[in-house]
Amino acid sequence: MLGVIGAKELPVNGVWWDSPAKAGKILENRGTYGYLSFIEADYAYQQVAVIDGVLMATQYDLPWIEEFDGWHLYDTTQSLLFHEAGFEVGIAHQPHPWVLHECGVDFDQPAYANDIVRFLIWKENRINRED
């Protein structure tokens, strides 16, 4: 699965942008335009732990975890499922950003905090499940 921005390591809290090893680049608009640029792929792409949902391209179809069907964590769960299935997740090499993300300025912090709790429970249950 290929994206344009994400993280080489997923922090314990499940929030990819809190990682010290962010990768990729993107233009974003949060009331004003910004340019985010992190670790760049040396070649066609670099492997990462998770990608952001602003762009997720894949040639394989894995079922989505429908519990995470809002604005948050669907991308993180899908990245983890791709790794679990033996596929690579990566950030494309981008000499210039491929995407302008119209983020907006509103962020529902209480809903996001609830989503994080649900994600951490989902992840823990996934790790501890018996196949």
Q: Into how many domains does the chain fold?
A: 1
CA angle 30, 34, 40 (to 5 degrees): 125
Structural domain range at position 114: 2-128
114 phi, psi to nearest 5 deg? -65, -40
Chain center to CA of 114: 18
> In this prediction, what percent of the chain has a pLDDT beyond 90?
60
Q: What is the pLDDT of residues 25-69, one digit of tens each?
A: 999 998 899 999 999 988 899 999 999 999 999 999 999 888 777
User: How confident is the model at residue 131, as a pLDDT?
Assistant: 55
Provide the whole-model pTM. Answer: 0.88
Count the neighbouring beta carbons within 10 Å of the beta carbon of residue 89.
22
Is 38 within 8 Å of 74 (Cβ atoms)? no
